[in-house]
Structure 1
Amino acid sequence: MKIIFFELEQTLIDKGRLIPGVVEVLSKLQSVQDSHNEVSELALISCNNQENIDSDKRLNHFHSIVKDNGILHFFEPLSEKITFPDNGHKKISENTFRDAINKIRVGLSYHHTIFISANQSHVTLARSLGMTSIHYKGTVNEKAEIDNLDDLLALINRLLLYSPCGKRLNEAKGFTISHSNKSKKIDSEIKSITERVDTNQLLENITKLTEFGTRWSYSPEISKVPIWIFDQFQRIGYSIEKEIQYQPFELPNSQPQMNVLCGNKDKDMIIVCSHYDSISETPSFSAPGADDNASGVAATLELARIFRNIPLKRNIMFAVFGGEEQGLYGSAACAEKASQEKWPIDVVINLDMISYKQTGALSKIIVEYDQGNKNSNNDAAAKAFGLTMAQAATDYTSLEVAHTDIWNSDYIPFEAKGFACIGAYNATDNPFYHKVSDTIDKIDITHLAEVVKMVAATILILGK
């Protein structure tokens, strides 16, 4: 579920009158579906507050304004769809946002909301809470990210298509238990290579990533993270002249952002990808993101180390993306470039949240493969790759495997471009997901090592 909040003044209405084009935008948003094929709720926040006024009178006052301007039907019942700052204050606070969300869905994460305002300070506050926020010019004479309603609608559509990530297993489609049986003959070379997975190295890399404090995309220190990842590929032995590169991408109202790519595109290739950014209830202060997604980055780096000098018939491109939590911005930029330049991608393997296991439980993993989404032409290939990974897990690890469709992570932009996509994901919902408590003491490093072995075996099966 997504909620789209508009700050009423100077965004939809100015001096009591509706801004031209607003009705058309709201009408279109009523029918736009997000990545879960759901229509978003529309709601209002107003700072045109008045002190010492009865709450019923205030609501009636705004009811008249909204009705007279012909947009009441978008926000009914208005008592649930409009929120004011507390105690006659003129500025929005964290409590304002929390109250507004709880009116519609109690406890819904900030991460599942979009906030549009002409007030830069309100946009900044919303972002600090993890909300997806758009600085719209409206009727304010100042520089903004979006200057007109057509561009605003296009951006909201994009954000809903690549919904800021919020994965829960009960939202997954196509759940099945893997029926892979252990092969009669195990490849001794594959087994030997998978045993090179180093839990100490995995733990060291997760530790370093969590020590950044926050890897929030809007953090002033975010550029240090891709620099560190670039350095790790170089330390492993990859060439900065021929193999490692930064790939720039844009994130609204932010400093320049970078993906890190490592590999060559001169023959058929496998992309192994993960995202380095993190989110929490207070991402501007703390978002350690140990499982989400230091685990995926550490796995990517460990696979890069293992395969540094192993010749394969397919190349491997290791890709570590930014901007995932804001709506797959880094991976979307990479997928667009891959499509334009016709990269010879056979399969994209996404690693996102792969280190959490309940204490005492068996090691289980979800092997996701594309089951529809935007492009159905790649489904058969994706299923074949997914079943190959399940077989690799059965033959070379202790993991139990189930399958679901892919959703809400960095393979989605590649799927939309027609590439076959699979992924690995926790088989148990992590209770510390998107929280400051997603810390290194909550991960299971032995379980993570088994997942890395599974991916390594898959690459070897596909690459031999």
Structure 2
Amino acid sequence: MARRRTFLSVTAAAAAAAPLVGSSPAAQAAGPRKHPPDADLRRILREIDADRIEAIVRKLASFGTRHTLSSQTDPARGIGAARDWIHQQLQEYASASAGRMTVELQSFVQPVSPRIPVPTTITNVIATLRGSTSPERIYVVTGHYDSRASDVLDAVSDAPGADDDASGVAVIMELARVLATRSPAATLVFAAVAGEEQGLYGSDHMAQRYKDANADIQAMFSNDIVGTGNPGDGTRPDPRTVRLFVEGVPTAETAAQANVRRSVGGENDGPSRQLGRFVEDVAENPQTGMNVRPIWRRDRYLRGSDHISFLLRGYPAARFTEPRENFAHEHQDVRVENGIQYGDLVEFCDFDYIARVARVNAATLWSLAQAPGTPRGVVIDTTQLTNETTLRWQAGTEADLAGYEVVWRETTAPDWEHVIPVGNVTSVTVDISKDNVFFGVRAVGRSGLRSPAAAPQPG
């Protein structure tokens, strides 16, 4: 039987919380398990309504085109009409929030650029649900409400943009409606951004505003093309899967920082990869009815969504999208050929599928907001030649923080395999060689909800 001993370096006040840590991997606790939704989250998931989502998608498609360069003053057609309708709806949702949710129009003038031939006003519509106990900790979810035809500069032709991306806007609007009546611990932001098809301009402006304010964005998710699990191209439908694109080494890192991260296995352990693991953990359950398929890439080839704007500022971010796109229908002018309709039409959307994607988002955002924040300043001591591993991190400030867990896995494993509860401490030494496995640290709340893990940096 493997020997067991306590070998810790902890703050004096927390010394009593020291764990027993075995010297053999076989002696460790069972690996992290998927977290089923609690009663509050189950009620949230039940309230997400596919009929309301359908109404949103149909209304957005009814504006004819939502091209960034289309009319901003026509009350019935163009991006201005869509902007005003989204703003009105979010204000209605906010009226049920007892003052916790505010709605703003975030406008700026985009100068001339390759897809912007004249200076153009671009407006994001943003609903912010302020956190009750940790309002400084922020989680953002977006969909883009602009659309396009085949010609990216064609602001006149019909471009209903049902799948790309009225579906994503419907997700964030339905989340705002359902969660407006709740009081999350951390702040949640629901944003319909514009200018995506012309170059991610709306999300770029939004992310920079947050960066300038030194905002603590702990996660951001883009919902872009989440309209159906049936591509309609003759391949087998997959209505129970959503892809989640998550990059490895953070985009904003310097080459030197990236090399340091790789030296401790960090190509699979950046903050966005930890988000991907977290989403699988909390959002794959019978209540969402979905499987999450993480794709370990920043985004698809030749494509990019609004999460990239946040990645470029160093924020953890990921992108939800349907399992297989039908490129024959996307970004095509509305037309009929040989009796077949083409274009990004409402008829190609599956509103029950969009509702399931919304439930995946809801489970993720609520679990993030109600759990403690991701541990900060996690380092692994690499100054000593030893077969043990010492980890240190900064103490969290949440009132409901119960303690921390060390997670670890074999270097060839994609997901965390083992977990060691270590109590409410800020330093721990475990009798497992740092040379052989990858480590992470995550916070645990009194409710049992856990944060995403943070991988250590050498220190």
Candidates 252, 256, 278, aligned match of 2:147: 278
The aligned counterpart of 1:121 is: none
Contact 1:218–1:254 (Cα < 8 Å) also in 2: no
TM-score by length of 2: 0.58
Shift of 1:397: 2.0
Candidates 86, 97, 103, aligned match of 1:244: 103
Map 1:37-436 to 2 at 5 A: 183=34, 186-220=37-71, 221-238=78-95, 243-251=102-110, 252=112, 253-263=118-128, 266-281=135-150, 283=154, 284-358=156-230, 361-362=237-238, 363-372=240-249, 374-376=251-253, 380-395=270-285, 396-404=287-295, 405-407=297-299, 408-431=304-327, 432-435=329-332, 436=334
Distance 1:192 1:224, change over 3 A: same
Q: Which has a greater percent of helix? A: 1
Give identity over the alignment, percent.
Answer: 26
Gapped regions of structure 2 (runs ≥ 5): 1-30, 72-77, 113-117, 258-265, 335-342, 371-459
Asked whether 1:448 is paired with 2:345, we answer no
Shift of 1:456: 0.4
1:263-289 residue CA offsets vs partner (Å, 9 max, x unmatched)? 167421101111100112254211110
SS at match of 1:256: strand
User: Aligned partners of 1:383, 1:187: CA distance in 2, in Å?
Assistant: 25
Distance 1:184 1:455, change over 3 A: closer
Contact 1:335–1:417 (Cα < 8 Å) also in 2: yes
Shift of 1:242: 7.1
Gapped regions of structure 1 (runs ≥ 5): 1-179
Contact 1:243–1:264 (Cα < 8 Å) also in 2: yes
User: Aligned partners of 1:328, 1:186: CA distance in 2, in Å?
Assistant: 34
- The amino acid of 2:93's aligned partner reads I
Shift of 1:182: 7.4
SS at match of 1:246: strand
TM-score by length of 1: 0.58
SS at match of 1:366: strand
SS at match of 2:331: coil
Contact 2:252–2:313 (Cα < 8 Å) also in 1: yes
User: Aligned partners of 1:438, 1:409: CA distance in 2, in Å?
Assistant: 17
1:14-57 residue CA offsets vs partner (Å, 9 max, x unmatched)? xxxxxxxxxxxxxxxxxxxxxxxxxxxxxxxxxxxxxxxxxxxx
Aligned length: 285
- The amino acid of 1:206's aligned partner reads V
User: Aligned partners of 2:129, 2:186: CA distance in 1, in Å?
Assistant: 10
Shift of 1:241: 11
Contact 1:273–1:300 (Cα < 8 Å) also in 2: yes
Q: CA RMSD in A?
A: 2.4
1:98-118 residue CA offsets vs partner (Å, 9 max, x unmatched)? xxxxxxxxxxxxxxxxxxxxx
1:425-460 residue CA offsets vs partner (Å, 9 max, x unmatched)? 111112311123111110111111111011101112
User: Aligned partners of 2:366, 2:35: CA distance in 1, in Å?
Assistant: 18
User: Aligned partners of 1:235, 1:419: CA distance in 2, in Å?
Assistant: 30
SS at match of 2:353: helix
